[in-house]
Amino acid sequence: MKKILIPTKLDTVTSTLLTAHGDYDVIQDDKTPLADLFKLHADAYGLVVRSEVITVALIDMLPALKVIIRAGAGVNTIDTKYARTRGIDVMNTPGANSNAVAEEVIAMMLADARHIVAADADTRAGGWEKKIFMGRELAHKTVGIVGLGHIGQLVAKRISGFECTLLGYDPAISTERAQQLGVKMTTLENLFASADYISLHIPETPETRKLIGERLLSHVKPGTTLVNCARSGIIDETALRAVKASKKLRFLNDVYEKDEPGAKTVTDIADLMLPHLGANTAEANYNAAKRAAEQLIDYDEKGIVSFVVNRDIPIGLDEHYCDLAYTVARLCRCIVQAPSPKLIESSIYGSLQPYSDWLRTSIVAGICDDFDRTSSPRQTADYLQEMGITYENRPVDVHKKFDNSITVDLTAVVDSQNDRHVSVRGTVEEGVLLISRINEFDKLYFEPVGSTLFFLYEDRPGVIGAIGRLLADAHINIEDMRNPHDRETNRSLAILKVNQQVSTEVMERIRTEITARAAFYIKF
């Protein structure tokens, strides 16, 4: 019998399904402190949790532990990296809570618009303040959705009954998928300037931390309502505090730095505060609990690891090739310089072919900033479907003898009339990543490390000299260079490794002087 600990208030369907299976001894106890419970059951094989913080110290108390299942999506409360070093697989149940969060967004919008909380309290106290509680209607308003993953898409569907104009921002979603949802894609600046309601559905990453700050908030219309049921760190609270009164913004919040009782930093600026109730519905709890049990059974009986979030690579795959897949895809994204990926095509050569599904995850992460490289193949497939991005892994011609190489082709939408395409191939030699081809420019073999500049231009004398001069004027030294020429198109590609970051102003100065067809900087 495998002992499974459930130290949380989770629907009993998990315990019921596992017990009925016959191979599991289930201990469900949400009263005993975690450390005390773990001491009593140090022989536990599996752990099913919700928002409990699972630290290194707690993991070490369970030497027989092999699997942790988060009944929900976020695993930020679990030390997944340390679990990996202990050979422990961490799984989640993505999507089980999504509808609950989407409905909460609508509930908060309506509650605030009609003063439900304050009016209830006043009426119970004997008041009858109809003038004070003059509300507004949600119908026909403009709603901006930042992040169109599973939850953002459900928000769009749920709010469509109010006949709102829907604006969206998500660089990863395809134009076709957005159109299916009735969402018009736009820039963040335009979304913030146009929307009456703005709902946030993006992860907290180094790139998104404090993204909702002074720059974006300066664009909002007076009276705009901002709803955050995503992560607290994506909002710059100081910037919001500075503009809230002058622009009469409404701020509805359900997320905090820590899920615990006590004073909250947003108390003075939040017009409606909930204690992280997004996933707190009976249906979401049941769905997550049921899936946790089903995934554990499939994991043990069938070896299905689709929902493992901390297993980067399978046994037998060299980690360098995951890095290569990510780097080749990231280079594609930088070159194509178009916001909406439409089609991703890969060619996986040599002994890498059996690992195509795993490498696909790194490729998608290289193209889509909001996608986590530690996601499972199953989660990758689900993400592509949600975003409306087509992915094709092409059969390869073995006669080309591109041993253990990876080619990624990216087609992205520029506007309603135009797409843009790029193709990049790379390989690994003695543990060193090498980019071997970019579009028509073959046999490059440059190592993608450090600060690198790319310029595509019509070939003519003096271009490299001009680039060198302008870099020198900015006190930037060239450390290495590739400068292939294609006779058929009369185009040249300059790839220069430099000793420091290059500013946007310097890049634009060079681009203008050499009339480059494309120019970009990337720090590998």
Which pair of tokens denotes residue 249? 């913004």
Are 133 and 325 spatial neighbours (Cβ–Cβ below 8 Å)?
Answer: no
Q: Is the dihedral of CA 475, 502, 362, 434 positive or negative?
A: negative
Q: Is the dihedral of CA 444, 445, 448, 449 positive or negative?
A: negative
> What's residue 154's pLDDT?
96
Are 7 and 51 spatial neighbours (Cβ–Cβ below 8 Å)?
Answer: no
Q: Where are the alpha helices (DSSP H) in 303-451?
A: 319-336, 356-367, 377-387
Whole-angstrom distance, CA of residue 518 vs CA of residue 21: 60
Are 377 and 325 spatial neighbours (Cβ–Cβ below 8 Å)?
Answer: no
Side chain identity at residue 69, one-letter code: I
Are 457 and 463 spatial neighbours (Cβ–Cβ below 8 Å)?
Answer: yes
Tally Cβ neighbours within 10 Å of residue 268: 9
Whole-angstrom distance, CA of residue 186 vs CA of residue 190: 6
Tell me, letter by letter, the H, E, C secondary structure of 228-277.
Answer: ECCCHHHECHHHHHHHHHHHCCEEEECCCCCCCCCCCCCCCCCCEECCCC
> What's residue 401's pLDDT?
67
> What's residue 312's pLDDT?
61
Which H helix or E strand runs over 467?
A: helix 463-473
β-partners of residue 343 are 390, 411
Whole-angstrom distance, CA of residue 453 vs CA of residue 519: 8
Among 269, 358, 343, 264, residue whose Cα is nearest residue 305:
358
Whole-angstrom distance, CA of residue 426 vs CA of residue 411: 18
Q: Residue 392 burial by CB count (10 A; 0-12/13-18/19+): exposed, middle or buried? A: exposed
Tally Cβ neighbours within 10 Å of residue 75: 22
> What's residue 494's pLDDT?
95
Tens place of pLDDT per residue across the chain (524 aa) = 999 999 999 999 999 999 999 999 999 999 999 999 999 999 999 999 998 999 999 999 999 999 999 998 888 889 998 998 898 999 999 888 899 999 999 999 999 999 999 999 999 999 999 999 999 999 999 999 999 988 999 999 999 999 999 999 998 888 889 999 999 999 999 999 999 999 999 988 878 899 999 999 999 999 999 999 999 999 999 999 999 999 999 999 999 998 889 999 999 999 999 999 998 999 999 999 999 999 999 999 988 877 888 876 676 788 789 889 999 999 999 888 867 889 999 999 988 988 898 899 999 999 998 887 777 788 889 899 999 999 999 998 777 767 789 999 999 987 777 888 999 999 998 888 999 999 999 989 999 999 999 999 999 999 999 999 999 999 999 999 999 999 899 999 999 999 999 999 999 999 999 999 889 999 88
> What's residue 291's pLDDT?
94
Ordered domains of the chain (ranges, CATH): 2-96+283-302 (3.40.50.720), 98-273 (3.40.50.720), 313-439 (3.30.1330.90), 449-524 (3.30.70.260)
Among 328, 326, 339, 324, residue whose Cα is nearest residue 411:
339
Whole-angstrom distance, CA of residue 404 vs CA of residue 394: 15
Side chain identity at residue 86, one-letter code: R
Which pair of tokens denotes residue 242? 């500075």
Which pair of tokens denotes residue 197? 């309601």
Q: What phi-psi label fits residue 165: left (phi over 0), alpha (psi between -120 and 50 degrees) or beta?
A: beta
Q: Is the dihedral of CA 276, 279, 283, 287 positive or negative?
A: negative
Are 391 and 359 spatial neighbours (Cβ–Cβ below 8 Å)?
Answer: no
Cα three-residue angle 430-435-436, rounded to 5 degrees: 95
Whole-angstrom distance, CA of residue 270 vs CA of residue 251: 5
